Each structure stands twice: as structure tokens, then as C-alpha cells.
Amino acid sequence: MNEEQKKCEHLEFEGNCEVTRVTSVEGGPVERYTVDVRVRCAVCRLPFSFKGVPFGLDPRMPTSGLDGLELRAPITPGPNTRDDIDHVREVHGPTTYC
């Protein structure tokens, strides 16, 4: 973090998201979607890190790299299904409120 970034109040933000259509073969049917999200201060360009996210890659849940600067999350068209909600409760247990 440079001096400008240390003094910045981080009042404005820029976000970037890249959606990927995942297929097994080139031109094949879409099997799932993922989104990679980054956020940084629009003034000093300091990137922000995502907290509380497991590290690595997992097609079933959001993850990040060790630096936490990119959120990698599975997404689907439309709202969550009953199975999605049950999976979150199974993974996170009683600390999940919904």
C-alpha cells in the first residue's frame, strides 16, 4: 500500500465481473456459469479483499485466492432453488440465517 492509498478515504469504488459459460467441449452445451468479481477504490486504485471466503476453486461455492482479491462464485439463471438453500444449510449449518 503506497502513501496515497494509506491516506485515501476510499469513497468511490470500481467493480469488475467476468462471467464464464463452462462447457466440457468447445461449442458444447453450457454446464454451469461462474463469475469472477474484483473491487477496488476508484480514487487510489487499492484493491479490496473478500473476507470469510474459502481458498481455492470449488464449482459448488464461492471461493477466493489466498490474497482474497478475486471472488470466484458459481451462478445460475434465476433465484436459488430448494436444493441450493439445503446445500448452503448443509455446508454452513446453524450459522446461516435465511
Which of 35, 37, 39, 44: binder of Zn ion (CB under 5 A)?
A: 44
Work out the widest C-alpha separation in the chain, in whole angstroms.
Answer: 50
The answer to whether 41 contacts Zn ion (rule: CB under 5 A) is yes
The answer to whether 71 contacts Zn ion (rule: CB under 5 A) is no
| H/E stretch holding 85 | helix 82-92
Closer to Zn ion by Cβ: residue 6 or 82:
6
Enter the C-alpha cell of residue 4. Answer: 496515497
The answer to whether 8 contacts Zn ion (rule: CB under 5 A) is yes
Report the nearest approach of Zn ion to the CB of residue 37 (Å).
18
| H/E stretch holding 17 | strand 13-22
Note whether 31 and 22 are within 8 A (CB): yes
The residue ranges that bind Zn ion (CB under 5 A) are 8, 10, 41, 43-44
